[in-house]
Amino acid sequence: MKKNKITIPKKCKSFVDDMYYVKVRDHYCGYVKLNSKHILFKIAKQLKMKNAFDTWNMHKYYPWCHGGVTFNRLDDDSLTIGYDQAHNGDDKSGINDNNKYVKFHTTNWAKSLCDKDDIKIIINTRISLFQNTIDDAQKQLDDFKKLI
C-alpha cells in the first residue's frame, strides 16, 4: 500500500511525526503518528498497550474521528492511530472513495489531537469513568460484606 503524505498542521508539529492516508481495496484510511511527547502516547505506554486488541477501550481517549478509531500501534517512541472510511453508508455518500475527504478529515482530527482543551475534556471524562467504576466496585464490595 502506498502511503500518501498529508501536511502536518503547524500547531501539531511538536506532537505529530507523520500523517498519511492509504487506499485499501475500495476505501481510504487516515493515520496520525503521535510522538513520545504526546499525552496519548504516555497513556498508551503506561497501559502497556500493544495494539487495538490489547486495550480496546483506548479509543475512548481519542477525539472523535470518522467512524471511530480502527487502528492503534504503539512503538517505542510513537503511537500511530487510524480510522477507515468503510462504514455503513460511506459507499452511498461517496466518501469511502474520496481522497479529499480523507485528507481534510485526517488534518482536522490531528488538530483536535493537538488541542489541549479537547484532550483535557477527554482525559477528565476518562478519569470520571474510572472513578465511577471504582465507586461501583466499592458499593458492590460493601453490599457483599453485608451478606457475610
pLDDT in tens, the chain (148 residues): 799 999 999 999 999 999 999 998 888 899 999 999 998 888 788 777 665 444 445 555 565 677 777 888 889 999 998 888 776 676 677 676 788 989 999 999 899 888 888 777 767 766 666 666 667 777 777 776 777 6
Q: Is 98 exposed, middle or buried (0-12, 13-18, 19+ CB in 10 A)?
A: middle
DSSP single-letter state for residue 16 = E
